[in-house]
């Protein structure tokens, strides 16, 4: 895809986000299987549902613009997911594994927060109000997912991982 205008860049960003969300929908079930803490399991399961909705929103925005969301691979997300999968292959104590899952999930959230903020700003500049609103909704949901992971880590899971 040749990028010559802000609209081209917006299209590229949406393809990148769709790929990231698609990769996350395949990675989250592995994290869910590896997690043991009930609240963490619930948070990850709920985020899997939200991620599927985020992917649908991107598809709807692309459709409105006459674009397809596929055809690009988000290598940034691919790297974050590979890093987390490599860590989870290690034989970690249960509590440490839960803490590692939170750290991996937050890295993914921070990547998404940056990407959604960028895409939303492009949509605003292009006068695509509906797209900007949907991207803002997703941005807020990603921020809440990050804050939930922080609460789980700081209130209990990281402390449990400290026990020898």
Domain assignment present for 1: no
- Residue 44 belongs to some domain of the structure: yes
Look up the domain containing 106 and give its range. 6-162
A 10 A CB-CB count for 8 gives: 12
- For residue 31, what is the domain's CATH number? 1.20.1260.10
Number of neighbouring beta carbons within 10 Å of residue 77? 23
- Residue 36 placed within a domain: yes
76: in domain: yes
Enclosing H/E stretch for 101:
helix 94-125
pLDDT surpasses 90 at 26: yes
3-state helix, strand, coil in the chain (%, to 5): 85, 0, 15
Q: From 144, 151, 142, select the one nearest 21 (Cα to Cα).
A: 142
Tell me if 140 is assigned to some domain. yes
User: How many domains does the chain contain in total?
Assistant: 1
What pLDDT, in 10s, does the model give residues 43-85? 999 999 999 999 999 999 999 999 999 989 999 999 999 999 9
Tokens 């209990």 belong to residue:
156
Residue 130 lies in a domain: yes
């Amino acid at each position: 895809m040749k990028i010559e205008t802000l609209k081209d860049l917006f299209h590229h960003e949406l393809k990148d986000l769709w790929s990231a969300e698609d990769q996350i929908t395949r990675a989250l079930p592995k994290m869910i299987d590896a997690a043991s803490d009930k609240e963490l399991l619930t948070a990850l399961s709920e985020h899997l549902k939200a991620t599927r909705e985020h992917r649908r929103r991107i598809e709807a925005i692309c459709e409105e613009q006459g674009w397809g969301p596929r055809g690009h691979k988000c290598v940034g997300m691919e790297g974050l997911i590979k890093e987390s999968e490599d860590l989870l292959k290690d034989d970690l104590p249960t509590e440490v594994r839960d803490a590692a899952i939170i750290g991996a999930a937050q890295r993914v959230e921070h990547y998404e927060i940056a990407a959604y903020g960028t895409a939303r700003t492009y949509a605003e500049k292009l006068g695509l109000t509906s797209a900007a609103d949907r991207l803002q909704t997703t941005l807020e949901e990603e921020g809440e997912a990050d804050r939930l992971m922080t609460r789980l880590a700081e209130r209990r899971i990281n402390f449990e991982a400290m026990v020898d």
